[in-house]
Amino acid sequence: MRIRTAAPAVLTATALAAALLAASPASAASHQGGLHLGHIQYDSPGRDTRSNASLNAEWVNIHNNTRSPIQLKGYKLKDNTGYTYTFGSYKIGAGKTVKVRTGKGADASGVRYWGRGGYVWNNTGDKARLLKPSGALKDSCSWSRAGSGHVSCH
C-alpha cells in the first residue's frame, strides 16, 4: 500500500517541476490574485508634519504579477474612512509595480500622486482596498497597530 501511495506523490512532484520550468523568472515568485496590493508604508517616517514630502512618504504599492499589462483606469484605492483615489489612464506592465503616494506631485511611470493635503492611511490601524472599476473588491490589506509603519500585504 505504501508503494501505491508513492505514485501520486511522484506525479505531483513532476507536475510541480514542469510548472516551475514553464514559469518565467518573474512569475516564479508570483502570488495568487494577479493584480494585488503589495508593500504599504502607512506611517510616514518621522513626525507627521503634513508637509508634502511627509505626505508622499506615505504610499501604497500595487503590483501586477500577471503576464499581461493591465489598464488601471477606473480602479480605486480606498481606506476605512472612505478616502478614495481613482486611477486615470495608466497601464501597469506585466510584473510591474505602481506606487500611489498620498501627497501632490507630477505623475510619472511607476508613480501616481493622490494629491491630498492630509494623510490617508491611519498609523494605528486601517484597511486598504483595491477596487475594480465595477466597484468589485480586487484585493484588501489591513493592519492593526503602528508597529514598524509598513506592511507587506502578500
Interface residue list for Ca ion (CB under 5 A): 43, 58, 119, 121, 123
Q: Which is nearer to Ca ion, 4 or 47 (CB)?
A: 47
Bridging pattern class, strands 111-113 and 97-101: parallel
Extract the runs of DSSP E, i.e. beta strands, from 15-149: 35-41, 59-64, 70-71, 76-78, 84-86, 91-92, 97-101, 111-113, 126-131, 137-143
Nearer to Ca ion, 12 or 144 (CB): 144
Give the C-alpha separation, 122 to 137, whole Å. 20
The residues pairing with 100 across neighbouring beta strands, listed in sequence order, are 60, 112
Closest contact distance (angstroms) between CB of 108 and Ca ion is 23
Q: Which residues contact 105 (CB under 8 A, 6 or more apart)?
A: 52, 56, 111, 113
Tell the smallest beta-carbon distance from residue 69 to Ca ion (Å): 30
Smaller CB separation from Ca ion, 65 or 85: 85
Min dist CB 127 to Ca ion, Å, is: 13
Residue with smaller CB distance to Ca ion, 62 or 120: 120
Q: Smallest gap, in angstroms, from Cβ of residue 47 to Ca ion?
A: 11
